[in-house]
Amino acid sequence: MKVCAVICELNPFHNGHEHIFREAKIATGADFIIALMSGNFVQRAEPAIMNEYSRAEVALKLGADMVLELPTVYSVASADKFAQGSIDIINSLPFVTHIALGVESKGELITEIAQIQANEPEIFKARLRDNLDNGLPYPKAVTVACADVLSNKGFDKDAVISVLQKPNNKLAVAYKKAMIKSGSNFVFTPILRMEIEGRYQSASVLRQRWITDGLSVRDFIPDISYKALLDEKGYAVNWDKYDALMLFALRSATLAEISQTPDCAEGIEHKIKELAGKSASFGEFLAVFPTSRFTKSRVMRICLQTLLKINKEMQNSYYINSRLLGVRKEAFELMKELPENIITNKNSETNILKKHLNVFDVDRRSSELYALLCGKKENMFYRKLAVIN
């Protein structure tokens, strides 16, 4: 039996995702596709456009056979931690034989870059130190160091930089690096993303279009996904509430609490605290925050990690408990092989989470917060498992 895992956010599920799920099954010959999907908060440090159960149901109707939740401590993490947490969970699934993901470039160069970042040869570390000493932000310093090392091996330097400037390629490198470090034995299967005008748009573009003009996303997402968006429109995220909560979290947190968030470093908590106290809104805070050393995305993750009370210890605790969100009936046989770290009901939750209850509480807290942001009276954390025929 072949089982292919796809790590995703599906925020929202668009034509490109449908292409990747379909091509993954073809390329791997998989009997089943498992989606490991971010929950209610995603890596851009924002609430998802739809709740996790609605996105899981869409995925099950459009290519996935089972959907697991990527814990919040990883879904709102840096690319490396996002990838390592994802790969650790997939490593725990005894039936997974392949991992597939969308990329903008062919896989050879992605694998070469991942090898360098995983093994960190001395020449790479030396170039990286030089780049950081010269004031480059860490992501750019890594990119230039990789390009320098691979140019010595005959690869085109500009081509390496181009690969690492594309978001899906960067995540692919992070996944492959995590696989190398953890000794994963499933097959790495990059799927080239489609770029056809009039049919494909990035999820970020579609989210913005949906917020400003819902009809303009119609041609870029499958009918099932579009209907789900319409069904959830009455419970859309209230961005003004989110703005206020984020700023309140920064103002009320101590310097020590901010400093312990996973993405915080170099004393940046002092600048965060200072500007949070001077800003009238979270949007204003982001607009005035200097990003010469820290990217806007990283600053936003620090802020969301502060709101959700995520600290470094949690993210480094090797937490591999994942909740089962939904399954197709045809994949019930896989449920019999799920390891104990996969949470299928409240009983399994009680039995296995004594060691990591504080990390699990982040998921519960995230669900409660998301319900408030969407104006829902009930917390959907314990919603019934989605089962699709």
Which DSSP string do the residues of 285-335 spell out, in sequence order? HHHHS--SSS-HHHHHHHHHHHHHT--HHHHTS----EEEEEEEGGGHHHH
* Domain presence at residue 173: no
* Domain presence at residue 170: no
Shared-domain flag, residues 90 and 202: yes
What local confidence, expressed as pLDDT, does residue 108 receive? 86
Average of per-residue pLDDT across 264-291: 95
Q: Is the pLDDT of residue 274 over 60?
A: yes
What local confidence, expressed as pLDDT, does residue 198 receive? 59
Choosing from 118, 136, 165, the residue where a domain stops is 165
* Domain presence at residue 269: yes
C-alpha 229, offset from chain centre = 20
The answer for residues whose C-beta is within 8 angstroms of residue 280's C-beta and 6 or more apart is none
Shared-domain flag, residues 11 and 148: no
Q: How far is CA 267 from CA 250, 261, 290, 294, in A?
A: 15, 12, 14, 11
What local confidence, expressed as pLDDT, does residue 345 receive? 82
Rounded Cα distance, 225 and 185, in Å: 33
What local confidence, expressed as pLDDT, does residue 215 receive? 66
Shared-domain flag, residues 197 and 96: yes
Please state, rounded to an integer, the average pLDDT across all residues of the chain: 93
End-to-end Cα spacing for the chain: 21
Shared-domain flag, residues 267 and 354: no
Asked whether 57 and 328 are in contact (CB, 8 A), the reply is no
Q: How far is CA 333 from CA 25, 30, 341, in A?
A: 18, 15, 17
For residue 129, the enclosing domain spans 107-165
pTM attached to this predicted model: 0.94
Q: Is the pLDDT of residue 374 over 90?
A: yes
Domain count, the chain: 3
Shared-domain flag, residues 202 and 342: yes
* Domain presence at residue 344: yes
Question: pLDDT tier at 382 (50, 70, 90 boundaries)?
Answer: confident
Shared-domain flag, residues 9 and 88: yes
The answer for residues whose C-beta is within 8 angstroms of residue 287's C-beta and 6 or more apart is none
Asked whether 170 and 78 are in contact (CB, 8 A), the reply is no
Choosing from 270, 297, 314, the residue where a domain stops is 314
Q: How far is CA 2 from CA 26, 330, 373, 381, in A?
A: 11, 14, 40, 31
* Domain presence at residue 191: yes
Shared-domain flag, residues 36 and 10: yes
Rounded Cα distance, 336 and 66, in Å: 13
* Domain presence at residue 175: no
**Per-residue model confidence as pLDDT tens digits over 44-76:** 999 999 999 999 999 999 999 999 999 999 999
Shared-domain flag, residues 222 and 80: yes
Write down the H helix ranges in 43-106.
52-61, 72-75, 79-91
Q: Is the pLDDT of residue 269 over 90?
A: yes
Average of per-residue pLDDT across 71-98: 97
DSSP annotation string for 182-242: HT--SEEEEEEPP--TTT---HHHHHHHHHH-GGGGGGGS-HHHHHHHHHHGGG---HHHH
Shared-domain flag, residues 330 and 189: yes
Shared-domain flag, residues 283 and 335: no
For β-strands 98-103 and 3-8, DSSP reports them as parallel
Shared-domain flag, residues 48 and 77: yes
Asked whether 82 and 43 are in contact (CB, 8 A), the reply is yes
CATH code for position 198: 3.40.50.620
**Per-residue model confidence as pLDDT tens digits over 200-228:** 888 988 998 888 876 678 889 999 999 99
User: Phi then psi for 322, rounded to 5 degrees?
Assistant: -135, 140
Shared-domain flag, residues 27 and 92: yes
What is the CB neighbour count within 10 angstroms for residue 378?
Answer: 8
**Per-residue model confidence as pLDDT tens digits over 301-333:** 999 999 999 999 999 999 999 999 999 999 999
Rounded Cα distance, 160 and 372, in Å: 44
Closest CA to 66 of 319, 344, 318, 345: 344
* Domain presence at residue 174: no
Q: Which residues pair with 36 in a beta bridge?
A: 7, 68
* Domain presence at residue 254: yes
Rounded Cα distance, 253 and 255, in Å: 7
DSSP annotation string for 101-112: EEESS-HHHHHH
